[in-house]
Structure 1
């Protein structure tokens, strides 16, 4: 049980300390049109978007630990986090979340959106594993 709680906390914190700061950099350089830490209300609970992202980051943290069977002793855990976050989260965002939110795009935009998603979600994955390793101890 403690392992799952740590995984949730790690994923939650990774949004705050890795995903959103990178989003801020991408926004500052004009790569993405939206700023980090948005307080725009989300549907259906009307919580700020950044808090919703943190919650889902926690859920994904649990899923990542379950999928990777995290043991804490892997020699290259950051690579697993980078690939899991970059590929799994970005694919789900593009194929499930964006259509549900009515955020359509044409196929010409797919490579760029995937690259931006890979960077943001890969940063989240690396951050999650750093926090998991910290919370669990070495």
Structure 2
């Protein structure tokens, strides 16, 4: 049974260096996480923190994927402007932002 078009932990090589997809995703997730760590102190740990995390995750990584990464890989901008792809990118990356903010808050020693 194929529930999704791609395997969740793909080891397929990425372009241009042939690094397995899972390692590439982990690396870039870490880079975006460091960016979030740098800007998170600007938000109080209330609703604005969580909203900022959601918007950061939904917007910035998604725009970079659509307008920087896709052209480098020879793919259409914004997934060809298909609504399903646009919504999926925003939701998945927004969930990543909230999850990353939650982990930062959980493991942060600063109150």
- Which category describes the TM-score, using the shorter chain as reference length? 0.7 to 0.9
SS in structure 1 at match of 2:41: coil
Given the two structures, how large is their TM-score scaled by the length of structure 1? 0.66
1:74 aligns with 2:45: yes
Deviation of 1:54 after TM superposition, in Å, equals 0.7
Bigger relative contact order (CA 8 A; separation at least 6): 1
Shift of 1:98: 0.8
Residue number in structure 2 paired with 1:95: 67
In the alignment, which of 94, 105, 109 is matched to residue 133 of structure 1? 105
- Name the CA distance, whole Å, in 2 between partners of 1:121 and 1:106: 14
C-alpha distance after superposition, 1:70-90 (max 9, x if no partner): 267420222211110101111
CA distance in 1 between counterparts of 2:78 and 2:58 reads 21
Q: Which runs of 5+ in 1 are unaligned?
A: 1-26
Query: Structure 2 unaligned runs (5+)?
Result: none
- 2:33 corresponds to which of 61, 65, 71: 61
* Structure 1 residue 51 corresponds to structure 2 residue 20: no
User: Contact 2:14–2:20 at 8 Å: present in 1 too?
Assistant: yes
TM-score normalised by the chain length of structure 2:
0.80
Between the aligned partners of 1:63 and 1:94, the Cα distance in structure 2 is 19
Match of 2:9 in 1: 37
Q: Alignment partner of 1:70: what SS?
A: helix
